[in-house]
Amino acid sequence: ETGVTQTPRHLVMGMTNKKSLKCEQHLGHNAMYWYKQSAKKPLELMFVYSLEERVENNSVPSRFSPECPNSSHLFLHLHTLQPEDSALYLCASSQGDGGAVNSPLHFGNGTRLTVT
Amino acid sequence: DAKTTQPNSMESNEEEPVHLPCNHSTISGTDYIHWYRQLPSQGPEYVIHGLTSNVNNRMASLAIAEDRKSSTLILHRATLRDAAVYYCILIKWGADGLTFGKGTHLIIQP
Residue-wise pLDDT tens digits, A14-23:
998 899 999 9
Q: Are B4 and B89 in contact (CB under 8 A)?
A: yes
Residue B28, SS3? Answer: coil
CB contact under 8 A, B44 and A99: no
pLDDT of residue B1: 60
pLDDT (0 to 100) of residue B92: 84
Q: In this structure, what is the dihedral angle of CA atoms A113, A62, A107, B54, given to the nearest 10 degrees? A: 130
Confidence band of A96 (pLDDT split at 50, 70, 90): low
Which residues from chain B sit within 8 angstroms of residue A48, using beta carbons?
Answer: 96-97
Q: How far apart are CA B20 and CA B26, in angstroms?
A: 19
Q: Which of A11, A75, A88, A22 is nearest to A47 (CA)?
A: A75
- Say which range, A12-26, A46-60, A79-93, B72-86, has the weakest mean pLDDT: A46-60
Q: Do B46 and A110 touch (CB under 8 A)?
A: no
CB count in 10 Å sphere of residue A115: 19
pLDDT value for A63: 95
pLDDT at residue B68 above 90?
A: yes
Cβ <8 Å between B91 and A100: yes
